[in-house]
Amino acid sequence: MTDITTPATRPLRGWKALDLDTRLLGMIGAFIVIAIAFDIASGGRFITPRNLFNLTIQTASVAIMATGMVFIIVTRHIDLSVGSVLATTSAVMAMTQTSLMPDVLGLGLGHPLTAWVAILFGIVTGAAIGAFHGYLVGYLAIPAFIVTLGGLLVWRNVAWYLTSGQTIGPLDETFQLFGGINGTLGVTGSWILGLAASAATLWALLAARRNKISHEFPVKPMWAEITVAAIAIGAILGFVALLNAYTVPLRVLQRDFAARGEVMPEGFTQGYGVPISIVLLITVAIVMTVIARRTRFGRYIFATGGNPDAAELSGINTRMLTVKIFALMGVLCAISAVVASARLANHSNDIGILDELRVIAAAVIGGTALKGGIGTIHGAIIGALIMQSLQSGMAMVGVDAPLQNIVVGGVLVLAVWIDIVYRKRTGAKD
């Protein structure tokens, strides 16, 4: 392969040839600074396999919803109801497992279909709620802020009535696998996933380079391509190694061996590996990225966010597009409800409280412009990780809950201000 340049384009040299996203680097740098600061403040307890494992499974639920919030904000809307929709779909899934399946269908906890039927009911419920919100916004022209503010109040209390205000559990064991600690790939499965992800990353980079060459676009020097590939693959395998380093407690292993009537070998250890909830997050991220970059639906979303009037004049049905976006958000709320309730092993009344603020903050910190038209899926996920790192770190060092919320609110405002300054200096679109 040879480097292709146009007469008006000079090849970049040095670190600029890597053509890295400076915003992405800034967010990663912010996470590293936060992690190091809390590790020092906590006496070395933050940057440990156990804490980082817990940090990933705590981030998953908010990160999944944040990917949908990107589309909502890109189209110049907002959704304040996501935490309440999560609660309602969680209640529906919990009641399906503990009441509907045993009483109506005669299938109780432990049946192979119980978890999957519950998840299906939850997703359908979330899609219906989201589509209803989208209809009110798109066809009745009620501002999304008002519709979803009402939804915040309505669906939180619908969830309460569905369960009569009671905690519902324990949930089906298969369902609990999506929570993280109760369901992981194990060491071997995690390495297989890591190698497959590395191979997919390498293929994607090569395909992108070939595509640029075929269209006579400038490409990076080969050394820059190799460096970027090495960084990406190193990050993937390092992440897998970190999660594999968190081992199952000795008492849990002894109990499992005893349940099988076996004696645990001396010195035996077993790593948890990558949680299934993280696999689910990665899958959602890939699907949402493909939608954003490779589909007509995604192009319509960003076109509408960039200029709604021009999008409508060009033939885009912006009303139906709004319904679809909010319906998608409802589906993602249901998937997040699976992760959140499975991690707790039950449905509780306070599930999802303040998640709407965390989700919006994650999307904004990740670079989604509140004026619409700009946003990335990976940015929202990193934003969710930064938010959870702040909360987990402050809790670890003993910061009171009110002060935690003060800090998170301040960080959100600071992130928006930094975004404004960044766009002005780089000439990016507002």
User: What residue spans define the domains of the chain?
Assistant: 19-183+277-426, 186-274
Per-residue DSSP letter, 44: S
Where is pLDDT greater, at 102 or 286? 286
Whole-number Å distance between alpha carbons of 377 and 73: 12
Whole-number Å distance between alpha carbons of 4 and 116: 51
* 190 neighbors 244 (Cβ within 8 angstroms): yes
Identity of residue 91: A
* 77 neighbors 322 (Cβ within 8 angstroms): yes
* Stretch (H or E) spanning 424: helix 401-426
* Per-range mean pLDDT, top range of 293-297, 321-325, 384-388: 321-325
pLDDT value at position 340? 94
pLDDT value at position 161? 93
Whole-number Å distance between alpha carbons of 360 and 81: 11
Q: What average pLDDT score do residues 344-349 get?
A: 90
pLDDT digits (tens, 9 = 90+) for 193-211: 999 999 999 998 888 888 8
Domain 19-183+277-426, CATH 1.10.3470 — does that match?
Answer: yes
Tokens describing residue 249: 């407690």
Whole-number Å distance between alpha carbons of 382 and 59: 10
pLDDT value at position 5? 42
* Per-range mean pLDDT, top range of 13-22, 131-140, 232-241: 131-140
pLDDT value at position 8? 41
Residues 6+ apart with CB under 8 A from 370: 73, 364, 416
* Residue 220 predicted with pLDDT over 90: no
Q: Where do runs of H (alpha helix) occur along 267-347?
A: 276-294, 296-306, 308-313, 318-344
Tokens describing residue 287: 């699907």
* Residue 294 predicted with pLDDT over 50: yes
Per-residue DSSP letter, 94: H
Query: What three-state secondary structure class fits 347?
Result: strand
Residues 6+ apart with CB under 8 A from 138: 318, 319, 320, 321, 322, 323
pLDDT value at position 427? 62
pLDDT digits (tens, 9 = 90+) for 42-51: 888 888 888 8
| Greatest CA separation for the chain | 74
Question: pLDDT-based confidence at 177, cuts 50/70/90?
Answer: very high
Percent of the chain with pLDDT over 70: 93
Average pLDDT, the chain: 87
Tokens describing residue 397: 């060092």
* Stretch (H or E) spanning 402: helix 401-426
Tokens describing residue 416: 């928006």
Whole-number Å distance between alpha carbons of 111 and 124: 21
Residues 6+ apart with CB under 8 A from 2: 213
* 55 neighbors 35 (Cβ within 8 angstroms): no
Percent of the chain with pLDDT over 90: 48
Query: What three-state secondary structure class fits 47?
Result: coil
**CA atoms lying within 13 Å on the CB side of residue 353:** 8
- CA trace torsion 404, 360, 423, 376 (10° rounding): 120
Q: Which of 108-112, 302-306, 347-351, 363-367 has the lowest mean pLDDT?
A: 108-112
pLDDT value at position 3? 44
Q: Of the candidates 340, 377, 365, which has an alpha carbon nearest to the alpha carbon of residue 83?
A: 340
Q: What's the angle, vertex CA 353, arms to CA 352 and CA 355, rounded to 5?
A: 65
Per-residue DSSP letter, 104: I
